[in-house]
Structure formats: C-alpha cells, structure tokens
C-alpha cells in the first residue's frame, strides 16, 4: 500500500503514526497556535476531521475531542483522523462566551473565512483550508455555551446537492443523537464544509459550563459510531437510532437590554401564543413579553439573568 502522509501545518504523521503538537501561524499580525492530533492509520480509509472549542466554553465538546485525541491509536485505525480540540484558543483561556476575544466575532458565523479578513476570519480560513478541506467526513463538536441549557441535537445543512445532503444526513443519523435539525447555519463550520462538498454535521451536547460524563460520552460514542459505520474501526456497524428531523430552527432574541426571566424549561413543548419569558428592567417593569410565534420543542434556553439587546433567548425546533 502506498504510504500517505497526514499533514497539518508543519506537523506530519506518516502511515501508521500518531503525531501531536502545536501548529503556529499568523493571524491579524499576531502569532496564533493550535494544538493538533494527527492519527494516520496503518490501513487505508477515509479521513475524519473533528473540531472542538469553536465556542470556547462548550466544555463537553472540548473534553470529548481531547479524550478521543488522547486515546486513539493508528494500530486500530483504517484511514486518518485529524482533531483540533480548541479552535478558539484565546477564548478558551478567557472563558469567553460566543466570541473570539481577538475581534469580538463569533467564529461560527465567519466560515469559510477570509485570508485578509479580521482575526476570526483568518482563523476560519486557515482551519478551512488546512484542516476541514482534508475531510471525507467532518464533525464539529458543540454544546450549550456558559449561559445556555440545551437538549442534545445534531445540525446539518441542506445544500441542494443531493449527494452531499444524503451523506450529511446519513452522518447525522449515524452519530446517534435522536434530534436532527436541518439548518441554514450560514457562516458556520458545517455549512461551509457542506458547501465545499464535504458531508458535515455540528453536534450539541452539554452546556452551562457543565461537562458531565454522559454529556461527554454522547459526543465520544457518536464519533465511535461514525468510525465503525465508515469502516475506520474494527467492529460491527452500529444499530440505527430512531431520529426525528426538525426542518425549522426558530431563534428568539431580546429586543432590549435587561434581566431575563424564562417561564419554560429547556426541552419544553411550546405553542403559538404561549408566554416564554419576560425581559424586565431594574425596577421590575416588563420591557419585552416573549411570546411564541409557532410550536415546537425548546432545544436551547439562555439561563443568564443578564441579557443584552439582540442576544439569543432560546430556540425551538419544528
């Protein structure tokens, strides 16, 4: 079998090798570094790319990426796996919510990035060109942020290219989380990958700064299920999980700066006209009565008392 090197930046893993290290590049005239796991299997097979920490405080996803990276060995592997556990490095150290502190942008709104853009756009461009584009399958691990409770779900994009769309939904089903959300997700990792022809999903588990074992394991089990399904690991193809595809993902946002008093729990079934919560000012005056415009199941709910104008409050899937 011809040997094929697995390369990210200056890090190279030859066939049958595992290499870990820090890859450095320049972003907005500042040095930037990413920790990378390269696992190049002894046998041929697809390339799976896994990223975590695009949102820096979604800890169950980062913990899962670290654990898979630390444990996976080339001996058991057919194909290659590239793992970048914390893409938003500055945000991780600062425990930043939603954004990259280098420019205040949400990394998951700027993909596929720009070579001459802001810091986040340059990071997105580098990760897209050097990491994601190597993928036959791409999984971006997420969860609720520090201020978000959520029930697990998997998002994928409908590109209109039947082959990619079929492969993305198969990847989503294989991962094994029962709720699947077909999303626009423009500027996000998985949509940029899918538009580049790569089957891609974004998986959500954990939230509110918590990374319970079951939340981490949901991500890890999903990755293992995918690797079995596509022949990258020995063992039986996983049994299918019954799943529901939600065609719409409705986000509700705050019109005001104030204090957020949700009136529902995450996972609640909500209906048109239902009061979902109130935004009040310091003196108790109601600034916004958040009323449900449709019906569905609440997939994430912001749990922060502090709320700013334009902040997400919750989203429900239909």
Give the binding site for Zn ion (CB under 5 A). Answer: 55, 58, 142
Q: Residue 58 or 311: which CB sits closer to Zn ion?
A: 58
Residues 6 or more apart from 64 whose CB is under 8 A from it? 52, 141, 205, 216, 217, 219, 220, 223
d(CA 48, CA 277): 41
Query: What is the full DSSP assignment across 251-286?
Result: EEE-SSSEEEEE-S-TT-EE-TT-EEEEEE-TTS-E
- For residue 50, the SS3 value is strand
Closer to Zn ion by CB, 142 or 173: give it.
142
User: Is the distance from CB of 101 to CB of 45 less than 8 angstroms?
Assistant: no
Contact of 19 with 7, CB cutoff 8 Å = no
State which residue, 18 or 55, has the beta carbon closest to Zn ion. 55
Nearer to Zn ion, 38 or 148 (CB): 148
Q: Rank residues 142 and 224 by Cβ distance to Zn ion and give the closer one.
A: 142
Nearer to Zn ion, 55 or 182 (CB): 55
CA quadruple 55, 59, 60, 61: dihedral, nearest 10 = 30
Three-state secondary structure string covering 105-133: ECHHHCCCCCCCCCHHHHHHHHHHHHCHH
Q: Number of helices (H) and strands (E), helices first, in the chain?
A: 6, 20
**284 class by beta-carbon count within 10 Å (0-12 exposed, 13-18 middle, 19+ buried):** exposed
**Smallest gap from residue 98 Cβ to Zn ion (A):** 8
- In this complex, which beta carbon is closest to Zn ion, that of residue 230 or of residue 316? 316
Instruction: Work out how close the CB of 75 gets to Zn ion at its nearest, in angstroms, rounded to a whole number.
Output: 33
Q: How far is the CB of 144 from Zn ion (least distance, A)?
A: 8
Q: How far is the CB of 184 from Zn ion (least distance, A)?
A: 16
| 59-71 vs 213-229: helix crossing angle, rounded to 10 | 50
What is the rounded CA–CA span in Å between residue 112 and residue 218? Answer: 27
Q: How far apart are CA 7 and CA 212, in angstroms?
A: 33
In terms of CB distance, is 142 or 219 closer to Zn ion? 142
Structure tokens at 179: 């709720």
Q: Minimum Å distance from CB 202 to Zn ion?
A: 8
What is the token pair recorded at 8?
């990210």
Residue 6 or 110: which CB sits closer to Zn ion? Answer: 110
Task: Please report how close the Cβ of residue 142 comes to Zn ion at its closest, in angstroms.
Answer: 3
Distance CA 121, CA 269 (A): 37
At its nearest, how many Å lie between Zn ion and the CB of residue 55? 3
* Closest separation in Å from C-beta 186 to Zn ion: 15
Minimum CB distance to Zn ion, residue 120 (Å): 14
């Amino acid at each position: 079998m011809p040997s094929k090197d697995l390369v990210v930046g200056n890090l190279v893993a030859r066939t049958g090798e595992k290499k870990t290290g820090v890859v450095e590049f320049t972003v907005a005239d500042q040095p930037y570094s990413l920790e990378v796991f390269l696992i190049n299997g002894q046998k041929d097979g697809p390339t799976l790319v896994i990223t975590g920490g695009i949102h820096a405080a979604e800890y169950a996803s980062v913990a899962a990426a670290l654990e898979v990276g630390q444990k996976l060995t080339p001996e058991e592997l057919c194909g290659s796996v590239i793992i970048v556990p914390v893409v938003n490095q500055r945000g991780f150290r600062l425990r930043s919510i939603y954004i990259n502190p280098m420019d205040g942008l949400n990394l998951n709104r700027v993909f596929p990035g720009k070579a001459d853009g802001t810091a986040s756009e340059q990071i997105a461009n580098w990760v897209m060109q050097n990491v994601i584009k190597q993928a036959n399958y791409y999984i971006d691990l997420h969860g609720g942020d520090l201020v978000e409770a959520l029930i697990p779900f998997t998002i994928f994009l409908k590109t209109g290219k039947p082959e990619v769309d079929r492969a993305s939904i198969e990847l989503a089903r294989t991962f094994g989380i029962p709720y699947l959300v077909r999303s626009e997700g423009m500027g996000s990792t998985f949509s940029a990958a899918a538009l580049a022809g790569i089957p891609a999903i974004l998986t959500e588990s954990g939230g509110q700064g918590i990374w319970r074992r079951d939340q981490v394991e949901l991500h890890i089990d999903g990755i293992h299920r995918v690797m079995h399904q596509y022949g990258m690991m020995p063992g039986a193809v996983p049994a299918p999980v019954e799943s529901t595809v939600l065609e719409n993902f409705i986000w509700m946002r705050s019109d005001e700066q104030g204090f957020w008093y949700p009136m529902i729990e995450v996972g609640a079934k909500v209906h048109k006209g239902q009061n979902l919560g109130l935004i009040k000012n310091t003196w108790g005056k109601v600034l916004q009565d958040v009323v449900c415009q449709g019906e569905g199941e609440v997939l994430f709910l912001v749990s922060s008392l502090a709320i700013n104008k334009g902040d997400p409050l919750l989203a429900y899937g239909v």
